[in-house]
Structure 1
Amino acid sequence: MSQVWFITGSSRGLGRGLAEAVLMAGHKLVATARNPAQLDDLKQRYGDQVLAVALDVTDEQSAGQAVKGAVERFGRLDVLVNNAGYGDVGSIEDTDMANFRAQIETNLFGTIIVTKAALPVMREQGAGHIVQVSSVGGRIGPAGRAPYAAAKWGVEGFSEVLSREVGPLGVKVTIVEPGGFRTDFAGTSTTLREGRPEYDETVGKMARYQRDYDGRQPGDPAKAAAAIIHLASLDNPPLRLPLGSDAIRAIEQNDAQRAAEHAAWRDLSVSTDFDAGNGAGHFPWEAR
C-alpha cells in the first residue's frame, strides 16, 4: 500500500538513499533539505510523486510550514523519518560552546521540533509511524563525540517517552541506531580534530580511526533503506533497531558490561531505600 513519507536531510547520505528507495517503491515523498535545489533531480525523475521542501529543522515555523505543505499536497502523513544530523570529533575541553549548541540544536532539537510539527496530523489520523535516526552513539558514549552523543542519547530518551504517549493513539515509534555506513557522514559531513596531546589515546585515536574507517564501513546504505521501509510496513515494529553488524556487536558488548556493573553494585544501589515496607517501589510503566 502506498504511503506518504516525510524525510529530513534528504539531500545526502542515508537520507538521500532512503528518499530514492521510497520513491522507487512507489510511495509518495516529502523530501526536505536546507537547499531544495539539491533535490531537483528527484523532482525531474518522479514528478508529482515527490514534493521538495526547504527545511531548517531547528526552525519551528519552517517545520510547521513543511508539514502543512505535505498534508496540502498529499492529504496525510504516514511515515516521518527524522534523519537530518551531523557529528564532529573533538575533545570536550577543546569544543567551544557554539559547536556544542549547534550539534545539539540540529540532532536533538531538530528531531523534537519536526516531531512536534507532525504529531497533530498523526494524532488526528489515529495512525502514523515516526522513525528517529539515532546512532550506535545513542547507546554508547564514544570518546571525541560528546555533543553528538549527548544529542543522540537525548533523542533516545525523548523517543521512548514519545512511544509511551502516542502508542495508545495508534502512532508507532522506532529508533534506528546505525553503525558505520558508507555515506559521507564520516567524510565531508564531519570535522575531525585530534586535539592536544593529552587526549591522543582517546580523542586522537578516534579521529584517526574515523579517517581510516571512511569508505570501509560495513554498512550498505541501500540495505539500511530497505530495512527502514520494511519497518514502516509492520503492525508491531520494534522500539529500537540497531543497523549493521558493528552496531549490534558494540551495543551487545556495552549492554553486557552495563548489566555486569549493575550486578556488582546492586547491593549499594538498593541500600538507599527506606526500610522494608515504607514504599511502593514500583514505577507506573513497570510490568507487574
Structure 2
Amino acid sequence: MSQVWLITGSSRGLGRALAEGVLAVGHKLVATARNPSQLEDLKQRFGDNVLTATLDVADERSAASAVKSAVDRFGRLDVLVNNAGYGDVGSIEDTSLADFRAQIETNLFGTIIVTKAALPIMREQGFGHIIQFSSVGGRIGPAGRAPYAAAKWGVEGFSEVLAKEVGPLGIKVTIIEPGGFRTDFAGSSTTLREGRPEYEDTVGKMARYQRDYNGRQPGDPAKAAAAVVHVAGLAEPPLRLLLGSDALRGVEQNDAARAKEHAAWRELSVSTDFEPGG
C-alpha cells in the first residue's frame, strides 16, 4: 500500500538517499529542504508523487506549513522522518555558546518542532509513524561532539517519552541510530577543529579520524534507506534501530561497559534507600 511520507533534510546525505528510496518503491513524498531548488530533479524523475517544500525545522510556522502541504496534496500523512541535522567537531571549551545553541536548535528543537506540527494530524487520523534520526552519538558520547551528542541524547529521551504517549493513539515511533555512512556528513557538512594542544589526544584525535574516515565509512546510504522503508512497513516496528556494523559494535561494547560499571557500584547505589520500615 502506498504511504505518504514527509522527510526533513531531503537534499543531501541519508535524507536524500531515503527520499529516493521512498519514491522508487511507489510511495508519495513531501521532500523538504531549506532550499527546495535542490530537489527539482526529484520532481522531474517522479512527477506527481513528489511535492517539494521549503522547511526550516527551527521555525514553527515553516514546520506547520510543510505538514499542511502533505495533507492538502495527498490527503494524509503516514510517515514523518525527522532527519535534518549536522554536527561539528571541537572541544567544549573552544565551542562558543552560539555554536552550541545552533546545533541543539537544529538537531533537537527541530525534531521537537516538526514532531509537534505532525502530531495533531496523526492523532486525528488515528495512525502514523514518526521516525527520528538520532545517531550512535545518541548512545555514546564521542569526544569533540558535545553539542551534537547533547542534542541526540535529547532526541532519544524525547522520542522514548513520545512513544509511550502516542502509542495508545495508534502512532508508532522509531529512533534510527546510524553509524558511519558514505555521505557528506563527515565532509562538507562538518566543521572540524582540532583545537588547542591540551586536547590533542581527545578532540584532535577525533578530528583527524573524521578526516581520514570520510569516504571510507562502512555504511551504504541506499541500504540504510531500504532498511528504514522496511521498518516503516512493519506492524510492530522497533523503538530503536542501529544502522551499520560499526554502530552495533560500538553500542554493544558501550552497553557492556555500562553494565559492568553498574555492577561495580551497585552497593553504593542501593545504600541511599531508607532502611526497611524506615
Please, what TM-score do these two structures have when normalized by structure 1?
Answer: 0.96
1:222-279 Cα shifts (integer Å, max 9, x gaps): 000000000000011110011000000000000000000001101111111111245x
- Write the letter of the residue equivalent to 2:157: G
The answer to whether the aligner puts 1:144 opposite 2:144 as a matched pair is yes
Deviations 1:180-228 (A, max 9, x none): 0000000000000000000000000000000000000000000000000
Count of residues in correspondence between the two structures: 278
2:28 maps to what in 1?
28
Matched, 1:59 2:59: yes
Match of 1:105 in 2: 105
- In structure 1, what is the equivalent of residue 115 of structure 2? 115
Give secondary structure in 2 for the equivalent of 1:53: strand
1:13-56 CA-partner distances (Å, limit 9, x unpaired): 00000000100000000000000000011111111100100000
Distance 2:43 2:277 in 1: 66
Q: How does 1:69-108 map to 2 (within 5 A)?
A: 69-108=69-108
The answer to which of 184-193 and 37-46 deviates more is 37-46
Q: Could you say which residue in structure 1 is the equivalent of 2:179?
A: 179
Partners of 1:253 and 1:194 lie apart in 2 by 26
Q: Name the aligned partner's letter for residue 4 of structure 1.
A: V
Report the equivalent of 1:208.
Answer: 208
- The percent of aligned pairs where both chains have the same amino acid is 82
Q: Provide the C-alpha distance between the structure 1 equivalents of 2:164 and 2:270, rounded to a whole number of angstroms.
A: 27
Paired with 2:95 and 2:131, the residues of 1 have a C-alpha distance of 30
Q: Which residue of 2 aligns with 1:188?
A: 188
Distance 1:234 1:273 in 2: 43
What CA distance in whole angstroms lies between the structure 1 residues aligned with 2:156 and 2:241? Answer: 12
Give the partner amino acid of 1:134. Answer: S
Unpaired runs of 5+ in structure 2?
none
Q: Counterparts of 2:127 and 2:73 in 1: how far apart (Å)?
A: 18
Q: 1:223 maps to what in 2? A: 223
**SS of equivalent residue, structure 1 residue 132:** strand
TM-score (norm 2): 0.99
* Residue identity matched to 2:27: H
- Aligned-residue Cα RMSD (Å) equals 0.6
Name 2:168's counterpart in structure 1.
168
Rounded Cα–Cα distance in structure 2 between residues aligned with 1:202 and 1:31: 38
- After TM superposition, give the deviation of residue 164 of structure 1 in Å: 0.3
Return 5+ residue gaps in structure 1 as ranges. 279-288
> 1:37 is matched with which residue?
37
**Secondary structure of 2:131's aligned partner:** strand
Letter matched to residue 276 of structure 1:
P
